[in-house]
């Protein structure tokens, strides 16, 4: 596995400018608060993955049924961003804001694990990497993707029980380990630690400069996770699978050798189906309800998470 570490007047003017920026938009009107709920419709879309494009102010979702990638605005309008025949399914997605790229993990057109890389602004295909060539597992499911500061991508395989590492040029490797069985959500902390949520738990930690360092994160609650995302203050929001809440919030003070439960959240709107993954919009966490196992569904929700603190 390829790993790396890788004068008063002016003050008054600044204060006035800051006040205007905080209280209004470019047209001088009031800034709209972030929505609590965005509902959108698209028949059988199954939007398992979620991101937020800060530049355009749009949510971005994948499609477990079509392999396409779509934008969703706050009014619930859906538009196709990427329609690449190289991917039959798109699950986890990740926006690399520094490079302006969007990564999508899923199933390729050959039925094996695949990773698509696209220009975020245009949807142009940069490359589609066939991950199945480096994984001997007969059943594969590329589920989520995280990207480090050098552009190396790390892709979980929930069925293939391991993690792919993909260089910026598209060269892929694969690491399989029983401790990576049912690997699901992935996030990178401080460009040094890869955290992997597993179905059934526990949360796993991999030091990117130490290929052999793979161990569970010690937690005061079992972390059976789906999608995971770091909040702006460095806590980890975990969308759970059969956990103590729909989403839990973990905090670590030792570089994710251990973590403590500090917040929980349950949806009061979507009580019949769990969320699948989370994304950051400004200071807020949002989750998407993909309704993966609801046949004939066309309505989906993106909901804002407000954590209840755990004392």
Whether omega for the bond prior to residue 33 falls within 30 degrees of 0, making it cis, is no
Give yes or no for residue 15 having a pLDDT over 70. no
Instruction: Please tell me the distance from the alpha carbon of residue 69 to that of residue 72, in angstroms, as a whole number.
Output: 10
pLDDT for 1 equals: 53
**Taking the chain, what is the end-to-end CA distance rounded to the nearest angstrom?**
40
Secondary-structure breakdown of the chain: helix, strand, coil percentages, each rounded to the nearest 5: 5, 45, 45
Give yes or no for residue 11 having a pLDDT over 70. no
Average pLDDT over residues 70-95: 97
Name the more confident of 252 and 271. 252
Residue-wise DSSP of 106-131: EEETTSSEEEEEEETTT--EEEEEEG
The pair of structure tokens assigned to 31 is 């800034």
Give yes or no for residue 5 having a pLDDT over 80. no
Instruction: Please tell me the distance from the alpha carbon of residue 196 to that of residue 229, in angstroms, as a whole number.
Output: 11
Give yes or no for residue 93 having a pLDDT over 60. yes
pLDDT for 20 equals: 33
Instruction: Please tell me the distance from the alpha carbon of residue 297 to that of residue 289, in angstroms, as a whole number.
Output: 12
Which band of pLDDT confidence, cut at 50, 70 and 90, is reported for residue 31?
confident
* 68-81 pLDDT tens trace: 999 999 999 999 99
Which band of pLDDT confidence, cut at 50, 70 and 90, is reported for residue 24?
very low
Q: Report in angstroms the alpha-carbon separations of 54 from 68, 96, 98, 100, 242.
A: 20, 11, 12, 11, 31
Q: Report in angstroms the alpha-carbon separations of 295 from 39, 44, 69, 90.
A: 18, 8, 20, 18
Percentage of residues in the chain with pLDDT exceeding 70? 90
List, in order of start, the domains of the chain with CATH numbers: 40-309 (2.120.10.30)
Q: Which residues of 219-255 are buried (b: 16+ CB within 10 A; e: fewer)?
A: bebebbbbbbbbbeeebbbbbbbebebbbbbbbbeee
Strand, coil or helix: what is 9?
Answer: helix
* 200-220 pLDDT tens trace: 999 999 999 886 789 999 999
The pair of structure tokens assigned to 164 is 């792919």
Give yes or no for residue 26 having a pLDDT over 70. no
The pair of structure tokens assigned to 185 is 């959500």
Average pLDDT over residues 174-179: 94
pLDDT for 50 equals: 98
Percentage of residues in the chain with pLDDT exceeding 90? 84
Q: Are strands 125-130 and 113-119 parallel, antiparallel or unpaired?
A: antiparallel
- Burial (CB < 10 A; 0-12, 13-18, 19+), residue 173, is middle
pLDDT for 211 equals: 67
Look up the pTM and report it. 0.90
Mean residue pLDDT of the chain comes to: 91
Query: Residue 258 pairs with which residues in a beta bridge?
Result: 218
Instruction: Please tell me the distance from the alpha carbon of residue 112 to that of residue 138, in angstroms, as a whole number.
Output: 9
Give yes or no for residue 128 having a pLDDT over 80. yes
pLDDT for 142 equals: 98
Give yes or no for residue 6 having a pLDDT over 70. no
Which band of pLDDT confidence, cut at 50, 70 and 90, is reported for residue 22?
very low
* 34-50 pLDDT tens trace: 999 999 999 999 999 99
Please choose, from the candidates 150, 200, 208, 147, the residue with its C-alpha nearest in 3D space to the C-alpha of residue 175: 208
Average pLDDT over residues 261-288: 96
């Amino acid at each position: 596995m390829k790993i790396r570490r890788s004068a008063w007047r002016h003050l008054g003017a600044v204060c006035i400018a800051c006040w205007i920026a905080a209280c209004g938009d470019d047209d001088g009107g009031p800034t709209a608060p972030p929505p609590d709920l965005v509902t959108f419709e698209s028949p059988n879309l199954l939007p398992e993955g979620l991101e937020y494009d800060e530049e355009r102010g749009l949510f971005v979702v994948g499609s477990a049924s079509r392999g396409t990638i779509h934008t969703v605005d706050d009014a619930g309008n859906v538009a196709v961003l990427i329609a690449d025949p190289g991917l039959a399914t798109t699950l986890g997605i990740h926006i690399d804001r520094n490079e302006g790229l969007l990564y999508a993990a899923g199933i390729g057109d050959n039925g094996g694990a695949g990773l698509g890389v696209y220009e975020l602004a245009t949807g142009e295909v940069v490359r589609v990497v066939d991950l199945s060539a480096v994984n001997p597992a007969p059943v594969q499911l590329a589920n989520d993707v995280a990207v480090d500061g050098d552009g190396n991508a790390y892709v979980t395989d929930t069925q293939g029980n391991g993690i792919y590492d993909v260089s910026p040029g598209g060269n892929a490797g694969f690491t399989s380990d029983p401790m990576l069985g049912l690997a699901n959500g992935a996030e990178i902390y401080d460009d040094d630690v890869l955290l992997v949520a597993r179905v059934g738990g526990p949360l796993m930690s991999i030091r990117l400069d130490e290929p052999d360092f793979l161990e569970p994160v010690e937690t005061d609650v079992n972390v059976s996770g789906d999608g995971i995302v770091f909040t702006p203050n460095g806590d980890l929001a975990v969308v759970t699978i059969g956990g103590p809440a729909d989403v839990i919030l973990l905090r670590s003070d030792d570089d994710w050798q251990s973590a403590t439960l500090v917040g929980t959240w349950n949806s009061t709107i979507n009580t019949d189906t769990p969320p699948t993954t989370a994304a950051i919009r400004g200071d807020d966490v949002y989750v998407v309800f993909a309704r993966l196992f609801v046949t004939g569904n066309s309505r989906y929700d993106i909901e804002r998470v407000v954590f209840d603190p755990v004392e």
